[in-house]
Structure 1
Amino acid sequence: MTEPFSRRALLIAGVSVAATAATGACAQTARPSSDLSVYKSPTCGCCGAWVAHMTGAGFQARTIEVADPGAVRRDRGVPDSLAACHTAVIEGYVLEGHVPAEDVRRLLAERPDALGLAVPAMPLGSPGMEVPDGRREAYETLLILKGGGTRVFARHV
């Protein structure tokens, strides 16, 4: 004959199940893709600051120094009008310039039919372009559509 569960045993079992589920959910949402490849010039310092922003946000980045980062951009179909100082690739999407980590997370969650994201022209205050006095320029993260067009993906002030 089996003994019925006591309230204490049921409570402990319930808490264990809830804790296990919560841990799995946190691990799943907190872990961005580790497949971030960043193509940059060996002499660019702000690119390293952007990589630090991304790794600080939980991404694992692999930096590849290339003589002409523009060649990577062009090979990925990103128009020169969206050029910045580095190009990154993650899960098939291209990231041109100082794209904030939260925009990359949103891109990966929504999975639009697009080439990727761009923050052209290295705006002051964007990730990796911070200055000691805290000055910032308003800027937009652009969704790069297939064919080279764009639309605003996010606004940052």
Structure 2
Amino acid sequence: MNRHVTPLLLASALLLGSAAAQAALPDEATLYKNPQCGCCDEYARQLEALGVSVTIVDDVELGDIKHQVGLPYGLGSCHTIVMGDYAIEGHVPFAAIETLFEERPDIGGIGLAGMPIGTPGMPGPKQGDWNIYQFTDQEPSPFMTL
């Protein structure tokens, strides 16, 4: 095979794999947040760049939303997203969201507690591992580490 064709085929396969992962995401999401939180707006913009239409709701009691989706106590963040059949809590990296929608486990959602530096919407370089948890009915368990 031509030595110039092999890298081209590899690059094409990687691009197609990335497009397939993004294609697994739902078309729409609703992001619930505090009206003054700019990092939540940035997260929404980055999610929209992946082709998801995001509706931002900033006039609700976030505690009620977190309770309704079954978020475990003490593992919250600044925003909660309802996307497809799942809740996504906080600045969850998009690789974890793509995995969620590829695998479609029987859970309530996934989350990343706090507001870790370097995650989507949060400025700065990544500092350490991100432990993404899954939850159902306020019971957390590990989902993945990035």
Give the distance between the partners of 1:33 and 1:124, measured in 2 at CA: 26
Matches within 5 A, 1:3-152: 29=20, 30-31=22-23, 32-131=25-124, 134=125, 136-144=127-135, 146-152=136-142
2: distance between equivalents of 1:42 and 1:107? 28
Asked if structure 1 preserves the Cα contact closer than 8 Å seen for 2:119 and 2:126, the reply is: no
Where 1:81 maps in the other structure, the secondary structure is coil
Deviation at 1:48?
Answer: 0.8
Q: Is the 8 A contact 1:143 1:150 kept in 2?
A: yes
Structure 1 residue 80: deviation in Å?
2.4
SS where residue 71 of structure 2 aligns? Answer: coil
Q: What's the % identity of the aligned pairs?
A: 27
How far is the alpha carbon of 1:97 from its aligned partner?
Answer: 0.3
Contact kept in structure 1, 2:79 and 2:90, CA below 8 Å? yes
CA displacement 1:118-144 (0-9 Å, x = unmatched): 00111111111122xx35342211111
Asked whether the equivalents of residues 123 and 137 of structure 1 are also in contact (C-alpha less than 8 Å), the reply is no
CA RMSD of aligned residues (A): 2.0
Shift of 1:68: 2.3
| 1:72 aligned counterpart, secondary structure | helix
SS of corresponding position for 1:38: strand
Q: Which runs of 5+ in 1 are unaligned?
A: 1-24
Deviations 1:7-60 (A, max 9, x none): xxxxxxxxxxxxxxxxxx88x834331121101111101101111221122222
Q: Check the 8 A contact 2:80/2:90 in 1, yes or no.
A: yes
- Give the AA of the match of 1:126: T
State the distance in 1 between where 2:73 and 2:113 align. Answer: 9
- Tell me the distance in 2 between the aligned counterparts of 1:151 and 1:76: 16
Check the 8 A contact 1:84/1:121 in 2, yes or no.
yes
Q: Which runs of 5+ in 2 are unaligned?
A: 1-15
Tell me: CA distance 1:154–1:130, structure 2 relative to 1, closer, same or farther (3 Å).
farther
Which letter does structure 1 place at the counterpart of 2:132? T
